[in-house]
Chains A and B, each alone.
Chain A
């Protein structure tokens, strides 16, 4: 158990709808990262939130947006859903603000499986 919890576990939406996924980070962690994992692929980095601001982003369009709250929990919002958005969405928490990458190990939740019909 990593202490990272995601909700819901499964979700079915139709094309064009909007979706919000939620993540509670591990106690003591201040950074949340989101990843999209298509079937049979490795996860792809969507963005990272640190101190309630997005401080890193992968190659995803603006309809993918997020929030981080003062308690370090986070939301991923996807607007105008497309069929290709069907995937496992993984949230990872870590402790940033240290000087070495060694202390910034990301711990993942079990993910939200999104199906877009």
Chain B
């Protein structure tokens, strides 16, 4: 069973608009972390934002915020005031807490975001 599901293979958004990238996850571990990464065409995975399963508030990092709905197992990324440089692949990932996270990150298939001028 897929642990991370990203249902939007591609999205086109006008510059300066806000955009929401969807992510749902599945785990029975009560302790887990959720991550969003950006991957430009150069290939490097760039860390954007983190949300812990016990965090009471939604995470924010500059223009990025994470809409965390634990009961729905949803962790959507919101980018405010999109810019042309935001065009990239975006990946949602999860690490479960058992074994201290030694089992690595589980990634979704990604969303290809294209910002149009």
Give me the interface of A with B, judged by CB distance under 8 Å. 2, 33, 35, 40-45, 47-48, 50, 55-56, 58, 88, 90, 92, 96, 100-102, 104-111, 113
Q: How far is the CA of A90 from the CA of B108 in the complex (A)?
A: 16
Distance in Å: Cβ of A108 to nearest Cβ of chain B = 4
Whether B42 pairs with A110 at a CB distance below 8 angstroms is yes
The count of A-to-B residue pairs whose CB atoms sit within 8 angstroms is: 80
Contacts A50-B102, A101-B33, A101-B97 hold; do A113 and B107 have CB atoms under 8 A apart? no
Whether B47 pairs with A45 at a CB distance below 8 angstroms is no
Whether B47 pairs with A106 at a CB distance below 8 angstroms is yes
Give me the interface of B with A, judged by CB distance under 8 Å. 4, 31-33, 35, 37, 42-47, 50, 52, 91, 93, 95, 97, 99-110
Whether A58 pairs with B44 at a CB distance below 8 angstroms is no
Q: Which residue of A lies closest to B40 (CB)?
A: A110
Within 8 Å CB of B33, what residues of A?
Answer: 101-102, 104
Contacts A108-B44, A110-B44 hold; do A42 and B107 have CB atoms under 8 A apart? yes
Distance in Å: Cβ of B15 to nearest Cβ of chain A = 26
Distance in Å: Cβ of B60 to nearest Cβ of chain A = 15
Whether B101 pairs with A101 at a CB distance below 8 angstroms is yes
Whether A111 pairs with B44 at a CB distance below 8 angstroms is yes
In the complex, besides A41-B110, A42-B107, A110-B42, 19 extra interface pairs with C-beta distance below 8 angstroms are A35-B105, A40-B109, A41-B109, A43-B107, A45-B106, A48-B102, A50-B102, A56-B102, A56-B104, A88-B43, A90-B43, A96-B101, A100-B52, A101-B32, A101-B33, A102-B50, A104-B95, A105-B50, A110-B43
